[in-house]
Amino acid sequence: MTSKHAQRLNRLFDKLERRIPRTAGGWLARLRRPEARWIRIPLGILLVLGGIFSFLPVLGIWMLPLGLLLLALDLIFLQSPVNLAIVRGSRKWTTWQRKRRDRKNTPKA
């Protein structure tokens, strides 16, 4: 039986798959399959390490959250914090976009 955190994580991944380009969504769907665990875990670890060493020219901080997302599919103790980070980040992003839009649409005196 899946926990509520795993169910929420799956819903968030579904939403992400719909938002990103079709090719990237296809890759993500393949990585989410249960038999892809042996690819997903090492890839997640490499992405986290790449995010930690983001000061190097080729690597970037974007690798860290992506690696944690992939690892959260298999590591139960990461599911709750990753869910919480995604939900809070989404709320802050939406709030920031609304404020920006409202500032842009406000007539200047």
pTM above 0.85, yes or no: no
Contact 70, 31 (CB under 8 A): yes
Contact 19, 12 (CB under 8 A): no
pLDDT tens, 1-47? 368 888 888 888 888 888 888 998 888 889 889 899 999 999 999 99
Which two three-digit tokens encode residue 39?
């690819």
Contact 17, 95 (CB under 8 A): no
| CA 7 and chain centroid, separation | 15
What span, in angstroms and rounded, lies between the C-alpha atoms of 25 and 20?
6
Q: Break the chain into its structural domains and give their ranges.
A: 4-105
pLDDT tens, 45-101? 999 998 888 877 777 888 888 899 899 988 989 988 998 888 898 899 899 999 988
Considering all CA atoms of the chain, what is the largest pairwise distance in Å, rounded to the nearest integer?
A: 61
Mean pLDDT of the chain: 86
